[in-house]
Amino acid sequence: MTKIRVLPENIASKIAAGEVVQRPESVVKELMENSLDAEANNISVIIKNAGKSLIQIVDDGIGMSREDARLAFNRHSTSKISEISDLDRIITLGFRGEALYSISAVARVELKTKDSESDLGYQLIIEGGKLIEESSYSCERGTNISAKNLFFNVPARRNFLKSNATEFKHIHDTFQRIALSFPDKRFNFIDDDKLIFDLPPSSLEKRLQYFFGESFMESLIPVHDEYESIEIYGYLGAPHFAKKNKGIQFIYLNNRYVSNKSIAHAVYRGYEHLLEKGEYPFFLLFLKIDPAKIDVNVHPSKLEVKFDDDQMIYSSVFSAVKSALTQSDISPAIELRRDDFNIEKTKFKTPFVDQNSFFAREIYNPKTFESRSTKSTPLQQRFTRSENKLDILEQTKNLIQAFTADEIATEQEAQIPTRTVWQLHNKYIITPIKTGLMIIDQHIAHERILYEKALHSLENALPFSQQLLFPQTIELSRPDFDLIMELKDLLFKIGFDIKPFGKSAIIIQGIPQEIKNGKEREILLEILEQYREYSQTQMINEKDNLAKSFSCKTAIKAGDPLSEKEMLSLIDNLFATEVPYVCPHGRPVFIKLSTDELDRRFGRTVK
């Protein structure tokens, strides 16, 4: 007696439906995608009891003839592909021919449809996969399809459905994803006879504003880049609007919403150092790629995708995100609470670019850092062997006078006043800007400067070491010695000239110019300790790890007094970096307090 048997159609259909129809949201997704493939311009979504009782989609698409409507409910029946080669260039949202078959296997489906060539429409009713009723029907061109009493014949599946609130949230999210992907279409969403959304055709920006609010739009950073075979465009959220969950992140591949960990990781990497651990940014990215270079036929849900060249996609997304963030002012402004003047109780607001501020010139010329970072500035000299403050001031004066005639003319045209700075508690630098006041954390600012300088040296092999008059011999623990030997070449690139001496000692012959004489051993050991800590807690490459450790331990500290010239030099060098807004660990370098906010606080009338 044989043990293998062919399953009856009613059992096979329910098994197949389990992959396609997992919950009410699955039905909404499949039917909305069918409407879009049918070239509909107006789509209505109607649900009751969170889709458990009713899911109805009404569209004005091309509709179907009587014959096509009957065939559409057969398994693997579709109008979107006809031969194997079509799978290599899928341009429609649907193509597998499983959706209607699977839905009708676990629900009571009513279909009313009419194409432009038929005088009358066609109506049919299928329940549990069986045709119950069919007839002619008078209607406009398009399709009206309802799925009622979902999982009525699979009680175990119905029992696994979540609360109405949870199931509604899944439907809402799918509706939102599709509506964002096709802003040129009109969408309606009705839940239990209540109109939830009525979205007219619009731009992507208007649709985002509709879903998330006008203030949300002010926090977005546009991104648009084109590479060899991919176009990337959309929006990124400013880092200080990041959330503790991944709820509002959208990736669209040729207008299809997809879930892809590699692309998401490329975005996160683009935000590197701009976010605290456990924070996730908003992003909405559209990727346009030749359909022949991708495979969406991975799973019946069609959320997964494979690429011919994963590395190209990853590097392109990373570059686009990094470029957009680098070119935007992502510094936070603060708004004082009316019930408390405590700065610690401030909240972040939308960033604003001061086009006429004295460092706007630096923000929009990040490449100046490359030329300046290789020179010895007064701020850097402050931490070298030179202790002659008169020399430092004179050098600073010469540096300030070194602006080109064009730069001076630009400042005069903008009517920028003489730059004024103050140091607060030997910790913060305060300076006026056109729109109010800027407060800079001196340690974090110097850390950002040194971090980018160290990275530049590590990437370009441009070591600049200050040779010691009397080389120092230092006895180390074996673990410290081994780590220094492991990092010896990288340490040399940032200015440490080190030679091994015996089994556990080293000779320091040269040091980076940022380190004071007498601090060589202390700073080097601190760098090693910090490097170990980063290695244990972060998945960062060696160069980045070392640059972070070096900048953290060699930057000026809170409590170090700075002269006015040194503060100005610090500001100039800060805004010559590529990302002046945050330190390598993601903390803000500065905040802005607007004049309007001060006026409101003091009861002045704001014009």
Closest to 434 (Cα-Cα) out of 384, 372, 360 = 360
Same fold, 9-200 and 465-554: no
pLDDT band at 82 (very low <50, low <70, confident <90, very high): low
State the chain's mean pLDDT as an integer.
81
pLDDT digits (tens, 9 = 90+) for 572-582: 999 899 888 88
Task: Determine the 3-state secondary structure of 80 from DSSP.
Answer: coil
Q: Which string of DSSP letters, residue by residue, matches 298-361?
A: TSTT----EES-HHHHHHHHHHHHHHHHHTS----EEE--TT---GGG-EEE-----TTSTTHH
pLDDT digits (tens, 9 = 90+) for 560-598: 999 999 999 999 999 899 888 888 877 889 988 888 888
pLDDT, average across residues 70-99 = 73
pLDDT digits (tens, 9 = 90+) for 402-415: 443 344 344 444 43
Q: Which CATH class is domain 333-445+560-601?
A: alpha beta
pLDDT digits (tens, 9 = 90+) for 97-119: 788 999 999 999 999 999 999 99
Residue 367 scores a pLDDT above 50: no
Give the pair of three-digit tokens for residue 283.
């992003």
Residue 520 scores a pLDDT above 90: no
pLDDT, average across residues 80-104 = 73
Note the pLDDT of residue 301: 67
Structural element, H or E, at residue 217: helix 214-217
Note the pLDDT of residue 2: 65
Report for 88-102, 274-288, 372-386: range of highest mean pLDDT: 274-288
- Domain ranges for the chain: 9-200, 219-326, 333-445+560-601, 465-554
Please, what is the Cα angle at 519 between 517 and 525, to 5 degrees? 145
Q: Which CATH class is domain 219-326?
A: alpha beta
Structural element, H or E, at residue 592: strand 590-594
Note the pLDDT of residue 393: 43
pLDDT band at 273 (very low <50, low <70, confident <90, very high): confident
pLDDT band at 243 (very low <50, low <70, confident <90, very high): confident
- 465-554 has which CATH code? 3.30.1370.100
pLDDT digits (tens, 9 = 90+) for 152-209: 998 888 988 999 999 999 999 999 999 999 999 999 999 999 999 999 999 999 999 9
9-200, what's its fold? Heat Shock Protein 90 (3.30.565)
Share above pLDDT 70 across residues of the chain, in percent, rounded to a whole number? 77
Amino acid type, 600? R
* Distant-in-sequence, close-in-space partners of 583: CB < 8 Å, separation ≥ 6: 273, 444, 447, 448, 451, 589
